[in-house]
Amino acid sequence: MSFFVFLILGYMYAKCYGNFYQAKDTMAEIPEKNSFQAFDAYFDCSAKCAHQIDISRRIKELKAIWC
């Protein structure tokens, strides 16, 4: 799976369902080369979601939870 799929799933489990155990397990599956530290550039990203989801904010929230 891609880094962003892990982010989407991790965010869903943690923020939407309050299931931090499942979120932690999901985030632990991210390969080290694709970890938050490897993707620090995305925290200032300007990526836009077609459904108006603030991608940068969600990444920051997940980093605050797991790092």
Residue 25 has phi, psi (to 5 degrees) of -60, -40
Over the stretch 6-50, which tens digit does the pLDDT of each residue have? 888 888 998 889 998 998 898 888 777 666 665 665 555 566 777
Selected residue with higher pLDDT from 54 and 12: 12
Show Cβ contacts of residue 53 under 8 Å, excluding neighbours closer than 6 positions. Answer: none
Q: Give this prediction's pTM.
A: 0.63
Q: What is the dihedral of CA 54, 61, 37, 39, to 10 degrees?
A: -10
Are 11 and 24 in contact by the 8 Å Cβ rule? The answer is no
Cα–Cα distance between 1 and 29 in angstroms, integer? 9
